[in-house]
Amino acid sequence: MTTIRDVARVAGVSPATVSRVVNGLIGYSAETQRRVEDAIAQLGYEPDTLARGLRTKQTAVIGVLAPVVSDALASEIMSGVEAAARVRGYSVMLGRTGPGSTFAPGYLRTLRTYRAAGVILISAAITPEMRRALGSGIPLVSVAIRDGQRFPSLAIDDEVAAYDGTRHLIALGHRRIGLLAGDPDSVLVNTARKRGYLRAMSEAALAPVIAHGNSLYDSAPPALADLLARDAGLTAVFALSDEMGPAVVNELQRRGRRVPDDVSVLGFDNTRTSQHVHPALSTIAQPLERMGELAVERLLTDGLPSTGPVPRILPHRLIERGSTAPIRPARPNPPRNKEQS
Amino acid sequence: MTTIRDVARVAGVSPATVSRVVNGLIGYSAETQRRVEDAIAQLGYEPDTLARGLRTKQTAVIGVLAPVVSDALASEIMSGVEAAARVRGYSVMLGRTGPGSTFAPGYLRTLRTYRAAGVILISAAITPEMRRALGSGIPLVSVAIRDGQRFPSLAIDDEVAAYDGTRHLIALGHRRIGLLAGDPDSVLVNTARKRGYLRAMSEAALAPVIAHGNSLYDSAPPALADLLARDAGLTAVFALSDEMGPAVVNELQRRGRRVPDDVSVLGFDNTRTSQHVHPALSTIAQPLERMGELAVERLLTDGLPSTGPVPRILPHRLIERGSTAPIRPARPNPPRNKEQS
DNA sequence: TTGTATGCGTTATCAC
DNA sequence: GTGATAACGCATACAA
């Protein structure tokens, strides 16, 4: 392994000068710089991260923790994190918060001993224990969740987003709109989203119909059954995740109902999965990749611990695809098979 | 930050002894051990990873590189990597190989300066440049791809798997079986899979019908159109990824064909997306999570660079869900004009 | 069984 | 503008 001393020897200067050149500091002649750079190129020198981190008490590492690594939503945020980190010369360390966030403190302790530049927490609430495990010198920002006022966070306004989604269905003429909510205990945003739905329904003097899943695909069919048991005449279902949304579309079709002709379905998140169903799912989009990028930016620019607890709200957006349509009057006969286009 | 010296002072011993206790070496009395452990607990001491790594020339870091971070297949492998790494006390560093693997060398250089314990490469071929960037001291294993005989790898036998899948469709009575292949240039396994399909078709004296997508969802509809243009009477489609598989199911339905009544669809990979369609996709399963775990195990157990180039083959498995069925005779009420051969 | 001393590769503080 | 030197926190060879 070639060290800064090797470079110094070849360039005929001292290690200190090499360090200055490498770090772009001032205090050397153009000629010296050239010689050092030549030596670096010749030897293929690369500064040792560990030694540097030990000395400077900082490494270019950003930790990312998500409840489940293979989750589509978390993956897309991570993708943004990776991109933003890479262009800035940072590396990403991946962890899983695990059930009840039990893994998180361990990961945060590790991140502390790595002297990480910051930590991004996806879809998980920051507990005091977690904050303690990380120590006080490392900034922490949570993404896709609004964690009260205690810690910095980056998210959409889930309540308004759900309100807007519900309003959209109402504007399409729907009156009997079911909500397929997620588990409020495991995914905090579900409370806010449910509130948005209730507010929109209440303002329109409509009766809410609610069932709960756990945000994942498999939880949706039984929850939908629950929903239909309460009101078999539902003409729209608002599913609060883009795993449940496609599941609702598929399950409705399995039950012989057409989407959107008989029932409109609206999803939430705009993950890739929303496009993996036919008809493609209309949904409320969160700027997931962008959230990941912004989280990095935020950690790195105003990364000091005194940044303050102001949550940052990002814009959501309604995306209309094929799964929502204006309500239709009861039809006489199912017009089947048409020419393909 | 509390160091090994602080612990030593509180415990009334030397730093060397603390180090011995921390690392579970021999050479201290039970009484000393107790005192040291008490001091550690009292101070909340945690060994500094950077200093330790600098000294031992090893860190508990495993690098994971995938073409696209948010890809379902890569995510599931990563999930296995994370789990296996965590229980062994290792951390995972995440990177993206990027278009043409252009990002990979940079990441590998970084991983080298971190003195990573090993690197796992998902779905990407190991180039000499990559191997050079990583240096010679760090083991590298590729997953979900068989990279010739040059580097260790962990994958299923893609050719046999595709052969088995095709045989299965044939066994169901299908004779006109289309293959929706991926791009052989970007995803090397596609060549082997295509070979397996061709062999099975040839053995059964059936005519192959092939079109190419790029393994992603959006590439499937046009490729399917291509396939149907070559043989509108196809009764089965074998799609070589679980993004293209659901896309084929959806697109066939959009064209007014029933799955599996009119056309059977078989996918490949068994990612979560295979269950996000209705009917759920029959597919060839790769043990993705397990692959991630095994990759970690392999790096850590026989992690030395001299491990040898033997590729390790994992078992694949055919999973029958709703999208495949025995061929049916032409049914009485055809939705469209048929009869063209 | 335990302690002392050294060095891993770097950066920062000083002197020149 | 440049170089010698100390220190970051740890593990280890060697001495005791």
Is the pLDDT at B151 greater than 80, yes or no?
no
Q: What is the spatial distance between Cα A109 and Cα A160, in angstroms, rounded to a whole number?
A: 36
Give start-end residues of each CATH 1.10.260.40 domain in chain A.
4-47
Segment B207-221 shows an average pLDDT of 95
Instruction: List the single range of A198-212, A287-301, B133-147 with lowest mean pLDDT.
Output: B133-147
Measured between alpha carbons, how far apart are the two ends of chain B, in Å?
Answer: 80
Q: A64 contacts in B (CB within 8 Å)?
A: 94
Q: How confident is the model at residue B340 (pLDDT cuts 50, 70, 90)?
A: very low
Name residue B140's beta-bridge partners.
Answer: B119
Q: For chain D, which bases have at least one atom within 7 A of a protein Cβ?
A: 1-5, 7-13
Please state whether strand C lies within 7 Å of residue B27 at its CB atom: yes
**Residue B246 touches partner A, C-beta closer than 8 Å:** yes
Interface of A with B in 284-323 (CB under 8 A): none
Q: What is the spatial distance between Cα B18 and Cα B13, in angstroms, rounded to a whole number?
A: 7
| Predicted local distance difference test score (pLDDT) of residue B251 | 95
Give start-end residues of each CATH 3.40.50.2300 domain in chain B.
56-155+289-313, 158-285
Total residues found in chain B within this entry: 341
Is the pLDDT at A13 greater than 80, yes or no?
yes
Write the single-letter amino acid at B47.
P
Of B93, B112, B250, the CB nearest to A93: B93
CA→C1' distance for A120 and D6 (Å)? 36
Most confident of A125-134, B129-138, B225-234: B225-234
Structure-token pair, residue B1: 């930050």
Nearest Cα of chain A lies from the Cα of B225 at a distance, in angstroms, of 11
Is the pLDDT at B53 greater than 90, yes or no?
yes
**Residue B275 touches partner A, C-beta closer than 8 Å:** yes
Q: What is the spatial distance between Cα B83 and Cα A99, in angstroms, rounded to a whole number?
A: 13
Q: What is the spatial distance between Cα A104 and Cα A110, in angstroms, rounded to a whole number?
A: 10
The neighbour count for residue A320, using CB atoms within 10 Å, is 13
Q: How confident is the model at residue A261 (pLDDT cuts 50, 70, 90)?
A: very high
- DSSP designation for B278: S
Nearest CA in chain B to A1: B135
| Predicted local distance difference test score (pLDDT) of residue B334 | 46
CA→C1' distance for B57 and C2 (Å)? 26
Residue B330 backbone dihedrals phi, psi, to 5 degrees:
-50, 130
Q: What is the spatial distance between Cα B102 and Cα B82, in angstroms, rounded to a whole number?
A: 24
Check residues B39 and A1 and name the one with the higher pLDDT: B39
**Residue closest to C13 C1′ by Cα:** A16
Residue A318 backbone dihedrals phi, psi, to 5 degrees:
-90, 125
**Residue A132 touches partner B, C-beta closer than 8 Å:** no
Q: What is the spatial distance between Cα A178 and Cα A197, in angstroms, rounded to a whole number?
A: 10
Residue of A341, A340, A256 whose CA lies nearest to B336:
A340
Q: What is the spatial distance between Cα B190 and Cα B215, in angstroms, rounded to a whole number?
A: 9
Evaluate whether B293 touches B84 at the Cβ level (below 8 Å).
yes
HSE, side-chain direction, 13 A CA sphere, residue B155: 31
| Predicted local distance difference test score (pLDDT) of residue A103 | 96
Q: How confident is the model at residue B169 (pLDDT cuts 50, 70, 90)?
A: very high
| Span B61-107, pLDDT tens digits | 999 999 999 999 999 999 999 999 999 999 999 999 998 899 999 99
| Span A138-156, pLDDT tens digits | 999 999 987 666 778 899 9
Strands A236-239 and A118-122: unpaired
Residue of A78, A59, A145 whose CA lies nearest to A296:
A78
Structure-token pair, residue B142: 């590729």
| Predicted local distance difference test score (pLDDT) of residue A148 | 63
pTM: 0.92
Residue B313 backbone dihedrals phi, psi, to 5 degrees:
-100, 130
CB contact under 8 A, B115 and A86: no
Residue A236 backbone dihedrals phi, psi, to 5 degrees:
-150, 145
| Predicted local distance difference test score (pLDDT) of residue A283 | 98
Please state whether strand C lies within 7 Å of residue B51 at its CB atom: yes
Q: B286 contacts in A (CB within 8 Å)?
A: none
Nearest CA in chain B to A58: B50
Segment A32-60 shows an average pLDDT of 96
CA distances from A224 to A217, A232, A249, B182 (A): 11, 10, 10, 36
Q: How confident is the model at residue A323 (pLDDT cuts 50, 70, 90)?
A: very high
Residue A35, sorted as left (phi over 0), alpha (psi -120 to 50) or beta, turns out to be: alpha
Q: Fold for A4-47, please state it.
A: 434 Repressor (Amino-terminal Domain) (1.10.260)
CB contact under 8 A, A82 and B69: yes
Q: Kindly report the CATH class assigned to B56-155+289-313.
A: alpha beta
**Residue closest to C9 C1′ by Cα:** A51
Q: How confident is the model at residue A331 (pLDDT cuts 50, 70, 90)?
A: low
Q: What is the spatial distance between Cα B159 and Cα B191, in angstroms, rounded to a whole number?
A: 8
Please provide the average confidence, as pLDDT, over all residues in chain B: 91
3-state secondary structure of B150: coil
Structure-token pair, residue A185: 């205990």
CA distances from B206 to A278, B176, B198, B296 (A): 32, 7, 9, 42
Q: What is the spatial distance between Cα B327 and Cα B170, in angstroms, rounded to a whole number?
A: 9
Footprint of strand D on the protein (CB under 7 A): A 12-17, 20, 26-29, 31-32, 51, 54-55, 57; B 1, 3-5, 15-16, 19-20, 22-23, 25, 45, 47-48, 51-52, 54-56
Count residue pairs from A and B with Cβ separation < 8 A.
157
CA→C1' distance for B75 and D10 (Å)? 36
| Percent with pLDDT over 90 in chain B | 81
Evaluate whether A164 touches A140 at the Cβ level (below 8 Å).
no
Check residues B101 and B170 and name the one with the higher pLDDT: B170
**Residue closest to D11 C1′ by Cα:** B55
Q: What is the spatial distance between Cα B242 and Cα B267, in angstroms, rounded to a whole number?
A: 5
Of B70, B92, B275, the CB nearest to A75: B70
Is the pLDDT at A303 greater than 60, yes or no?
no
Q: What is the spatial distance between Cα A224 and Cα A201, in angstroms, rounded to a whole number?
A: 19
Question: Which nucleotide is nearest to B55 if distance is taken from CA to C1'?
Answer: C8
CA distances from A129 to A101, A104, A126 (A): 10, 9, 8
3-state secondary structure of B148: coil
| Span A188-213, pLDDT tens digits | 788 899 999 999 999 999 999 999 99
Query: Using H for helix, E for strand and C for coil, what is the string for chain A?
Result: CCCHHHHHHHHCCCHHHHHHHHCCCCCCCHHHHHHHHHHHHHHCCCCCHHHHHHHHCCCCEEEEEECCCCCHHHHHHHHHHHHHHHHCCCEEEEEECCHHHCCHHHHHHHHHHCCCCEEEEECCCCCHHHHHHHCCCCCEEEECCCCCCCCCEEEECHHHHHHHHHHHHHHCCCCCEEEEECCCCCCCHHHHHHHHHHHHHHHCCCCCEEEECCCCHHHHHHHHHHHHHHCCCCCEEEECCCCHHHHHHHHHHHCCCCCCCCCEEEEEECCHHHHCCCCCCEEEECCHHHHHHHHHHHHHHCCCHHHCCCCEEECCEEECCCCCCCCCCCCCCCCCCCCCC
Of A61, A107, A278, the CB nearest to B250: A278
Name residue B267's beta-bridge partners.
Answer: B283
CA→C1' distance for A292 and C10 (Å)? 32
Q: What is the spatial distance between Cα A293 and Cα A154, in angstroms, rounded to a whole number?
A: 11
Rg over alpha carbons for chain A, rounded to the nearest Å, is: 26
In the numeric block, the tokens 């959230």 are attached to: A291
Is the pLDDT at B333 greater than 60, yes or no?
no
| Span A89-109, pLDDT tens digits | 999 999 999 988 999 999 999
Q: How confident is the model at residue A186 (pLDDT cuts 50, 70, 90)?
A: low
Instruction: List the single range of A148-157, A175-184, B117-126, B299-308 with lowest mean pLDDT.
Output: B299-308
Q: Kindly report the CATH class assigned to A158-285.
A: alpha beta
CA distances from A14 to A8, A54, A300 (A): 5, 21, 32
